[in-house]
Every structure is written in structure tokens, then in C-alpha cells.
Amino acid sequence: MQTEGKVFKYRDNVDTDVIIPARYLNTSDPKELAAHCMEDIDREFVKKVSKGDIIVAGYNFGCGSSREHAPLAISTCGVGCVIAKSFARIFFRNAINIGLPILECPEAAEEISAGDTVNINFDTGSITNLTTGKKYKAQPFPPFIQNIIKSGGLLASIKERDESDE
């Protein structure tokens, strides 16, 4: 599995309140949420983002509230992957549970610039900055988490397990 797209770059501690402000949480409709993604720190994001694009950010991406609406909004915008120096733990869990690919790679997150075109191979964890030619290697997920992703999310993996138990 691969994704390729242009990079939107953000700071450390991007919180879920700016990913999707709570004033829009009176709905869980992914399309409505996606229309307001990142708007409090980047009004241009939803206008410019296209399928496969990549968010690159600093430390503690997704900190704050547990709202699953945050990874859902990012994913529904078409973002193919979020690369960060580190992720807040609830966001990390939620992204995996809903199937938004995320990679922790401090070096790539430091060096990749806004507007660069980046290719990601999820099978190998390799990140290639096509603009600069530089390659990076992200930490692969532990097998337990890979299984959740392979099944298509947490609920699908539970269903699969329950059925094989019967």
C-alpha cells in the first residue's frame, strides 16, 4: 500500500480542538466535519487539500480531546497519511481504529517542508521526499496493531476473532 501527495506542514502540539473545533461536534457526519478540518490554524487547508496529500507535524500531534471526529475529519479530507515526531496517545489509538495511516518519524517530520511531494510505502515504512530525493524509514507498527489495520479497523478485527473462536 502506498500514498503520494503534497505536504501540509504544522507545528508541535496540534490539538484536536484545531483539527476539528468543538463548535462543529453537534454532528458526526464525516463530510460536514471534513469541511472545517484545521480551519482555526489554516483556513486554506480544506480548499487546497487533495486525495493522497500528507500532513507533516511536530511533537504530540492530536493532543487534547478524545474526539474520534479529528482523525475522521482528516481522513475524509483525503489525507493519505500523517507523519509526526510523536502522536498523543488517544489520537494514535483513534487513527488506527478508524484506519487513518499515521507514521512516527522525527527525522522526516523535521526535514520535510510544506509543499514537498512525498511518497510513502506502508509495507516497508519508507518515506521518500520526491522534491529533495531524501529517504527516511519510519518505525513499523507492532504485529498486534498491524493485525487491526489488516482487518480494516478494531471492530472488524474483533468480529474476525469472534468468528474464528466459534
Residues that bind other proteins (CB under 8 A): 13, 15, 17-18, 21-23, 25-28, 40-41, 59-60, 63-69, 72, 86, 88-90, 93-94, 97-98, 142, 144, 153-156, 158-159
Minimum CB–partner distance for residue 133 and other proteins (Å) = 31
- CB nearer other proteins, residue 55 or residue 120: 55
Give the whole-angstrom CA distance, residue 75 versus residue 53.
Answer: 10
- CB nearer other proteins, residue 100 or residue 120: 100
Give the whole-angstrom CA distance, residue 147 versus residue 49.
Answer: 29
Minimum CB–partner distance for residue 97 and other proteins (Å) = 4
- In sequence order, what are the beta bridge partners of 15? 63
- CB nearer other proteins, residue 90 or residue 127: 90
DSSP H helices, 8-165, are 16-19, 30-34, 45-48, 69-76, 89-98, 106-111, 143-151, 154-165
